[in-house]
Copies of this chain bind each other. A is one copy, B any other.
């Protein structure tokens, strides 16, 4: 290893060690103490939003945005990077929502008395130190910090290079807020070096980091999964299907397609493929074809193209693809079995939907389709921590370990066994 990497490893190890010390201080805190820290963060964010051009965060962000534009970054990406008064106020509001959520730490699960009189149960405790590896959006810095704090964990944050100045300013703001309520500023730390080598070293610090969560494009996530020696929870992509069954309510299926595909085409719970039973293909595809007026492109099999002349012939790799755009792959199938088989082959275990009037088909689909969220007669867009009732969400997992689906505060904790005895021995 080169000298500079040895130095970098030393720096990162020291940073994580400080985070571990802070995590031990956070673990036994009561909810009131943690919420006080969250409210202090929200107040500072609101104050920054009111400062306009004098805001340190907005000034740093303006520099990031200017640098990104100068580097020729696309406007879509620049838009993810931009902070303004309204967005800062919205971030502050999200922080207050986490403050109002109940605290998972300390919840006792399933306490029971054993035949020998021992009273045993499990209590929810924080994981320890959580590393977030993410891309350009600076709001993730605040989201991740407050979800970790609320669940009693220290956070080590490695954001995108484009947002380096914004994240540093937000990190300062958070540290300042933590100090103001007497909590260790080391509980939330920004990684100082943003090159991939730093990430690789960080992900190798076994025993220092309890969980790494990558959020971003598939390239980033694969890099993390391949280089990590610490536990990782991730999802690569959402290749989500809607199966419109024979006899389904065509109008309902149409609305589920429209909502799933067009409401926000760039998100992981958007629809990417419509599987339509031959019995309803003509009326449903007729309705869906009209969405071309709103920019929807269909890529279908031969049967689809026969019914919808404007549809493009799907290439083999259009199935199993996450378009992140108003493009929908379509296939006409003859049965529920064929649909389930297609999903087993091309799905990404993220979100799968059936639109059906049949009880038996609904139950079979729920049982046989392997995905983090399987829905009957509802939009794929509901696979979301807020929509499923978790409150804020730190990510969606398609790893089956620990958490499968949206991860809320409880997914940032674990269950420790406790036992109350009166001298029992074996």
Binding site for B on A (CB under 8 A): 24, 27-28, 112, 114, 118, 120, 122-123, 125, 127-128, 206, 210-211, 225-226, 229, 231, 233, 249, 252, 255-256, 258-259, 263, 344, 362, 366-368, 370-379, 381-383, 387-389, 399-402, 404-406, 414-426
Contacts and interface: CB of A to CB of B under 8 A. Distances in A.
A419 B374 contact: yes
A423 B375 contact: no
Contacts of A123: 366
A379 B210 contact: no
B118 A421 contact: no
B118 A382 contact: yes
Contacts of A401: 127, 210-211, 231, 233, 401-402, 414
Q: Which DSSP category, helix, strand, loop or mixed, fits chain A's interface?
A: mixed
A258 B425 CA distance: 9
Given A387-B114, A426-B379, A370 B417 contact: no
A328 B176 CA distance: 47
Nearest to A127: B400
Contact of A381 (B377, B378, B420, B425): B425
A252 B421 CA distance: 11
A123 B382 CA distance: 17
Top 3 A-B residue pairs of the complex, sorted by shortest distance between their CB atoms: A378-B421, A259-B425, A373-B417
Contacts of A426: 259, 263, 379, 381-382, 387
A231 B231 contact: yes
A366 to B, nearest CB: 5
